[in-house]
Amino acid sequence: MNTIGTYLPPVNQVDEGQSSRLTPSQAQNNFSSLLQNAIEDLNHIQLESDQKTEGLANGSIENLHDVMITAQKASITLETGVQVQRKVIDAYNEIMRMQV
């Protein structure tokens, strides 16, 4: 299980004579895969929380502490995803308001 921060690529230092520019297609693919991985991780965390909650209700899991931690982790991850979505929409709206 990964956190959203682990999806960020490392920052490499570039010498002045060396250019390491991505093409728009490469940047789009990188962003697309980063976003897809983050959404898949969010979904995995939510499903894990659901499974543990269901297990607690069925009696197959007796560790309430672990179930509550997993549920809180899922809640925080979902809230973070919603906040990121809002920021992306705000940035998009700001770009659309720019005059060319």
Write down the pLDDT at residue 21. Answer: 86
- Contact (CB, 8 A) for 41 and 10: no
In a domain, 44, yes or no: yes
Look at residue 9 and tell me if it is in a domain. Answer: no
Residue 83 lies in a domain: yes
Q: How much is the pLDDT for 14?
A: 46
Confidence of residue 22 (pLDDT cuts 50, 70, 90): confident
Classify residue 53: in a domain, yes or no.
yes
54 within a domain of the structure (yes/no): yes
Question: What's the number of domains the chain is made of?
Answer: 1
* Segments forming the whole domain that contains residue 79: 24-97
Q: Is 3 inside any structural domain?
A: no
Percent with pLDDT over 90 in the chain: 67
Decide if 60 is inside a domain: yes
In the 8-state DSSP scheme, what is residue 17? Answer: T
Q: C-alpha angle with apex 46: 53 to 79, nearest 5 degrees?
A: 115
